[in-house]
Chains A and B, each alone.
Chain A
Amino acid sequence: MNVIAHSRLKGGVLSADDRELLRAQGSMENVFRECYKELAMDYPKFHKMDAPSKLAVLVTEPLLQRARQEGADLENRMGLIGMSHCGSTVTDEEHWAVRTETGLASPAVFVYTLPNIGLGEITIRHRIFGSSLCLLDHEPGTELIQRSIRVLHERDGMEWIVCLWSDIFADRYDARAVLLGPGPGAPADANTLRTLIST
């Protein structure tokens, strides 16, 4: 499989294929809102998502738009790999704070207290029914990424894969994603993946 495109959202900068799409100031929430506008998503559900889901949806949006342009069969042949260190920890903390401070849990917060919900939001937005893997690790290591790619591609028949590393803790966030597919591009070997995701 080849790297068709890649993207990153960190420190107020959203970029795709090393081209800066947006540079925004202010809080994380504000940056995410600016990205949402820049990407012209027209998806009111976005505002209801928790921060980790927003981050995952935003950084993969340019790649999935590109995949659609390339004629990828998103419904049946798109695999997703989502990796993270902190997972849903920031939302877990919020759920627990609401529950202890008010005595009542908030349903809309609780439903986001799983690490794979961001991937779920991506599948819902883009109607992706294929295979997905949600893995938690200290860092985006190329070995695990390559193994996951092999599982989705060689075992589950996914012709396209979006591989995502996204992490939020406190107000720090960092997300990188690559789109892999059959078209022209650098082969998805360890070196390429290390450059685009692991560093």
Chain B
Amino acid sequence: MEILLGAPACLTPLGPDLPTTLAAMRAGTSALLPSPFPGSEDPVHIGRVDDVWLTGSGRRSQRMIGRVVRHTLPRLTRNLRTEPRTCFILATTKGDVKALEQGRPEDTMLPVFAARMGAAQGFSGQPIVVSSACISGTLAIKLAADLIALGEFDHALVVGFDEASDFVLSGFLSLHAVAAEGCKPFDDARDGISLGEASASVVLSRDRSLFTEGAVAEYIGGGMGNDANHISGPSRIGEGLVRAVQAAMDSAGLAATDIHHINAHGTGSLYNDGMEAIAFGRLGLGHAPVNSYKGYFGHTLGTAGLVETLIAVEGLRQGTMLRSLGATNTTAMPDMDILRRTGTPQETFY
């Protein structure tokens, strides 16, 4: 059975929609800008979504989600709000955690946040909430595809959201995990992450005629694995990632030599990026050009996997692989083909 993705939309620190975001990335623009942070002597580089792109009233979180859902739904031939056998999945780590900063912990509970989001977007029923840290967005795509493949649903609206908050930033600062300037994924001198924020949405369906502009991609496989190593540090041998990628390739019936591009997590932290390099080596994927988008707009947490998948797909549709912004010196990872220039697959060979 064919499972298709279509009507992608995103709101990122680089733009109010997917085409604007991608154009800025092709031009090599970074949205990571120094911003003062209470308790930190130096400004911290953060990727923030400009409020002028948000319309309407209500919580900023709901307006960020509303923006992408309103981009996605009109590009369908049927009204997903009333279409039977449709599921609504939200991927997020912290939802509206700013409500906690404002003294309302009950409002931060993710089922409460998701119920409000569903109602605000005109859906009945409780959305499914996936909250598995940084893999939430990717896992939500896989869950949607699995549920459709199993015949539980015919269509799925997948939304990702996370906001840059003092809550999260203060925590990463206490872990000494934040880059001094904008993050530099896969660079020898990488020194930590930069926090970003984004929302994104996409529809998965077994029905090609649902998409007015056609499908943008087909889901052909997915996998996941646990590191079972440490709650905040990645396995030094990339065990969870190796298992996840192998399962994805196996389920798609692909071998390592079939893979021509990897959009990696590439957070800019010393251990994460090193772990990914080791994992790709173990998987025999050293030949595949790799990039990370974190240097463009930061780590968008639970929505990262979703927004980055949509950007990667749109880029490839335009025949472009984006350079891994911030990766200037990559001598420490000689076995990995880190994209140092943006262009067509032919142009990026050098």
Contacts and interface: CB of A to CB of B under 8 A. Distances in A.
Interface of A: 85-87, 89, 92-93, 95-96, 99, 103-107, 110-117, 120-121, 123-124, 126-138, 144, 147, 150-151, 154-156
A128 B224 CA distance: 12
A154 B151 CA distance: 12
Choose among A124, A136, A154 the residue with the greatest number of B CB atoms under 10 Å from its CB. A136
Given A87-B131, A114-B131, A132 B111 contact: no
A116 B126 CA distance: 20
B146 A104 contact: no
A138 B167 CA distance: 24
B130 interface: yes
A97 to B, nearest CB: 10
Interface of B: 39, 93-94, 97, 100-101, 105, 108-111, 114-115, 126, 128-133, 139, 143, 146-147, 149-150, 152, 166-167, 170-175, 223-232, 239-240, 243, 247
A85 B112 CA distance: 9
B105 A93 contact: yes
A137 B129 contact: yes
B228 A128 contact: yes
Given A104-B174, A110-B174, 6 more contacts: A87-B131, A104-B39, A105-B174, A106-B174, A107-B175, A132-B132
A96 B167 contact: yes
A133 B109 contact: no
Contacts of A137: 111, 126, 128-129
B133 A89 contact: no
B305 to A, nearest CB: 14
Contacts of A121: 231
Contacts of A103: 39
B301 to A, nearest CB: 10
